[in-house]
A and B are shown apart, each in its own frame.
Chain A
């Protein structure tokens, strides 16, 4: 049954080579923790991706209850965390996952740096990786405004003030982020849009490029 469907699609789209390429490529010994335990440092990239997937999923589910509105945001977060079954876990996954994704990404970047894997011919992938790092930090920054508690409010205010010190364009950036004279309703709506649509869009695009380049160039050889 499944085989028939698969064959029907494969005949038309020739999909076998695509997954064969991913499934059958040989993985060298020096990145395999089963051969050298120290090779666990090569796991951090995969774990970053794992946590990214958890972030995307838990974020999607959280927006089922969350509203980006200054009157209700706090209460919707309180409600989803305490009144909805497993709300504490889903919000916990998103909150702690945000920290862990940064930890894993940091360790992954350090591994790449200290093994010199960013060198020729993988310079572009390092640059894409650093852009991913910035997008992740941006996601963290826009994310913690959303519950609209005191920490959210003041940390965001400080963050926006930092951006406003940029010479010449600082005030415009501040206005763009804040959408008004003080952080308020418009700011929250904007940060929500950036956190949920703009940055994840950039993140997924960059991830696709990152993974494509890994497959194309392969893992860097042993030291």
Chain B
């Protein structure tokens, strides 16, 4: 401010770029007062209505987050084959598209680039593909029907991907990891144990490690699958197995096999199986201390 300038004077901005030019081109829409019906001010009248909707949506959303915890599976393991990878639901249509015969194998480019490229490209360029002045969807049948067909296709692909996933789960007897994890956590909490963190739970130590059942038979037959320290590998961990199974059940599994495990009836004698089962049944967390 220059000296002697009256500070009470309202400052006048010169060359204000915010003053709109009056000669608007035809592109700019009419003032709303020229539309039929009532108009109302954005603040507070209209915003209040929007916020009412917002409040209702927020309450529903908070209820959802409280009712359904966000899923978390097991730590990433590149060798895990007991897991059916699925993207989030909004990518399922693409996931399913890539399974189609003409979008896989030699034609994979069709599925990964061409079809999504054309679909999304057409969406991006919609204003130039559908140039007529008509706005009502039922008066522009080509644009509307293309969109409806795409919607139906995406819905179908998503639905197909999901049902196929459910069937695979059922066929292979797989429980999705985040469900299994949650059930285990609830179980542990019910039993008064601390909540297990996958990959961080420590296995109980081996009980009676100098027993000949372990040193002679198990170390010869079992450790290639169950791990040298019985910590698990292809087969499950055997440390602490006595907490989950009794001697009879263990003997039965060794004799006849189960799941991926072969039957040992012809490899081990009944007496050896009995020794092994007896030793395994002793593998309890309490005994390990």
Contact = CB atoms under 8 A, between A and B. Distances in A.
Direct contact of A and B (CB under 8 A): yes
B42 A24 contact: yes
Interface string A180-212: 001000000000000000000000000000000
A150 B200 CA distance: 16
Interface residues of A, number: 88
Contact of A29 (B30, B37, B199): B37
Interface string A24-63: 1111111011110000100100110010001000000000
Contacts of B83: 150-151, 154
A158 B85 contact: yes
B141 interface: no
Interface in A54-78: 54, 70, 74-75, 77-78
B49 A33 contact: yes
A82 B46 CA distance: 41
Interface stretch (B63-71, B227-235, B243-251, B270-278): B63-71
Contact of A92 (B42, B65, B74, B98): B65
Interface of A: 11-12, 14, 17, 22-30, 32-35, 40, 43, 46-47, 50, 54, 70, 74-75, 77-78, 81-82, 88-89, 91-100, 102, 110, 113-123, 126-127, 130-131, 134, 137, 140-141, 144, 147-155, 157-159, 162, 165-167, 182, 216-218, 220-223
A222 B127 contact: no
B52 to A, nearest CB: 9
A137 to B, nearest CB: 7
B65 A89 contact: yes
A53 B151 CA distance: 28
B69 A81 contact: yes
